[in-house]
Amino acid sequence: MVEYESLEYRKSLELQRQLRAKKESNRDFDDFLLVLQHNPIFTIGNKGSKDDILASENLLKEEGIDVVNVKRGGEVTYHGPGQLVGYVLLNLSRANLSVDQFVWNMEEVLIQLLEDYRIKGWRMEGHPGVWINHQARKWKIAAIGARASKMITSHGLALNVNTDMDHFQMIVPCGITAFNPISMKQVLGKTLNIIEIYNKFEQSFEKIFKLKLEKIASSKLEEMIK
């Protein structure tokens, strides 16, 4: 497992590409979890369209928001500071997991993390991610947008912790117009310690995936994938 305080999005794509290449050529190569935050960016998944980005090119430039097409499930979403992002590079065959179980596990990791803050998360059929009830409304607090090819996963999940939610107003998030996204900060009315969230996420991940995480430096990861 590798932690980053912040990682430029395009750099994360290249890291995942290199890790996938290693794992596809050597099925015994280690599994990895990358835990990080990103620069402000809109990403368009396999089912997405630029039509779901409502902001003009000029506004995107003013706000410093990049736009990237990516090979993952889902549609358009936002990443930015204050949001926990987890990318899972996992050999599903070795972990004895189906794709559906993998997605369920990622949702469960977040549901159990939220329980530590007395936030009750739940699933909505047909819409991967984690949802909550707040102020008599349904909200989406976490997104799932993963890829599984040759039984190796990449991309993963994003939990809104202290995220600037105004940026979500510039898109149709995940193609959903009936419900809005929300952050833990909005629900709890306070800024959270993101490092504490990282730690709780990692503990929950170990429990649900039944894996023991070993932290390594980013420099060691880059050496391994040369």
Three-class DSSP category at 28: coil
**Closest C-alpha among 209, 144, 154 to residue 23:** 154
Tell me which of 110, 174, 187, 197 is the catalytic residue.
Answer: 174
- Rounded-to-integer distance, Cα 162 and Cα 199, Å: 16
Return the CA Rg of the chain.
Answer: 17
**Closest C-alpha among 85, 222, 205 to residue 214:** 205
Count Cα atoms within 13 angstroms, Cβ side, for 29.
Answer: 17
- Rounded-to-integer distance, Cα 12 and Cα 219, Å: 14
Residue 210 region, left (φ>0) first, then alpha (ψ -120 to 50), else beta?
A: left
The residue assigned the tokens 């430029």 is 8
- Rounded-to-integer distance, Cα 169 and Cα 80, Å: 14
**Is residue 23 flagged as an active site residue?**
no
Query: Is residue 148 within 8 Å of 127, Cβ to Cβ?
Result: no
The residue assigned the tokens 């280690």 is 30
Which residues participate in catalysis according to the annotation?
Answer: 174
